[in-house]
Amino acid sequence: MSPPPGANDSKTPPIVSLLAGGVAGGIEAAASYPFEFAKTRVQLRSQKGVPTPKNPFIVVSQVYRSEGLRALYKGCGALVVGSIAKDGVRFLFFDAIKNSFADPVTGTTSPLRNLLGGMTAGVVASITAVTPTERIKTALIDDARTEKRFRGGFHATKVIWQEGGILGLYRGFAGTTLKQASATAFRMGTYNILKDFETVRDIPQNTATNFANGSVAGVVTTLCTQPFDVIKTRSQSAHGASTMEAVKSVWLDYGLKGFWRGTTMRLGRTVFSGGILFTSYEAVAAILNPMFAVVKEKLPIDG
């Protein structure tokens, strides 16, 4: 039996995983940021008795009318930078783990190993990139609706560092890591489970298939990990809070249902962004793989 396309004879080199993941992460973050902005606004503490709309388009339109277009992209730079690093690291580690455990004939990996690979990649991404950039992004969004003391991403980073040092930038680390580990496990695991299923059954891998698989992965991820996202957002507000303080504040404000606050808005983003992320990754990898294959052939290195 000859290996199908995507089997282990055509493993993605680590440098391609890193570069393609970084490019895809930056594109996805920039394209879907208004949804992320709306979701974060809803999860942060609001005034008692003042209803918060659940429709992301209503939140976006209200902010646009009252604060202008620039307000909708407050914190976007931090998220884009963080997403480039985060997704570069996530795809690098996930592909390395997937390649190590893939079936030598089919190139596929078991569902459990897909999930474990995603979980490992999520933890590494949280430590190296996600927590500090998410902290800055969330603080900027929170500050813009209250005190307005941050002039931008660099200024926010400087102030947070002066007030809390490295621990200030890593505020909400536990919640972020739990979210990243679970989200990456479900997102990348689900996507690759679907992709492996289609590979074995000779279903063509094209832009439409990649986008659909990424969107399904986004839905699964959101529904399974929303409580971690809410806790992370509360922990990383402008003044910050411990993980336990964040859990307590959500419970006191909204009860159990509060841990799924912003689900509709996050779904709007993850369905869209999941499709963009994986479609962009596959497209960039398809361009880079032949280039690095040629470079590898010309290098005078054995193996």
Least confident of 19-23, 37-41, 287-291: 37-41
Per-residue pLDDT at 85 exceeds 70:
yes
In a domain, 146, yes or no: yes
pTM score, two decimals? Answer: 0.70
* Token output for 216: 């399904």
Domain residues for 213? 8-287
In a domain, 16, yes or no: yes
Left (φ > 0), alpha (ψ -120 to 50) or beta: where does 150 sit?
A: beta
Segment 260-292, tens digit of pLDDT: 887 887 887 788 889 999 999 999 999 999 888
- What integer pLDDT is reported at residue 276 of this predicted model? 93
Residue scoring higher pLDDT (142 or 7):
142
Residue scoring higher pLDDT (66 or 87):
87
In a domain, 76, yes or no: yes
In a domain, 134, yes or no: yes
In a domain, 140, yes or no: yes
State mean pLDDT over 160-188.
88
Least confident of 28-32, 39-43, 78-82, 198-202: 39-43
For tokens 């505020």, the residue is 171
Burial class (CB in 10 A: 0-12, 13-18, 19+), 142: buried
SS (H, E, C) the chain: CCCCCCCHHHCCCHHHHHHHHHHHHHHHHHHHHHHHHHHHHHHCCCCCCCCCCCCHHHHHHHHHHHHCHHHHCCCHHHHHHHHHHHHHHHHHHHHHHHHHHCCCCCCCCCHHHHHHHHHHHHHHHHHHHHHHHHHHHHHHHHHHCCCCCCCCHHHHHHHHHHHHHHHHHCCCHHHHHHHHHHHHHHHHHHHHHHHHHHHHCCCCCCHHHHHHHHHHHHHHHHHHHHHHHHHHHHHCCCCCCCHHHHHHHHHHHHCHHHHHCCHHHHHHHHHHHHHHHHHHHHHHHHHHHHHHHHHHHHCCCCC
- What integer pLDDT is reported at residue 46 of this predicted model? 61
* Token output for 38: 């709306």
Total domains in the fold of the chain: 1
Neighbours of 261 (CB within 10 A): 24
In a domain, 190, yes or no: yes
State mean pLDDT over 62-87.
84
Residue scoring higher pLDDT (34 or 191):
191
Q: Measuring CA to CA, which residue among 32, 105, 91, 59 is closest to residue 284? A: 91
**Band (302; pLDDT cuts 50, 70, 90):** very low
Q: Measuring CA to CA, which residue among 173, 154, 187 is closest to residue 87? A: 187
* Token output for 18: 């890193």
For tokens 């002066």, the residue is 162
Distance CA 89, CA 129 (A): 9
In a domain, 15, yes or no: yes
In a domain, 2, yes or no: no
Q: Could you tell me the CATH number of the domain that includes residue 168?
A: 1.50.40.10
Segment 99-135, tens digit of pLDDT: 887 777 777 788 888 888 889 898 998 888 888 888 8
> What is each CA distance from 118 to 54, 71, 254, in whole angstroms?
30, 33, 31
Q: Measuring CA to CA, which residue among 213, 11, 209 is closest to residue 107? A: 11
Which segment, 54-63, 124-133, 151-160, 273-282, is predicted with the most confidence on average? 273-282
Which segment, 35-39, 78-82, 138-142, 164-168, is predicted with the most confidence on average? 164-168
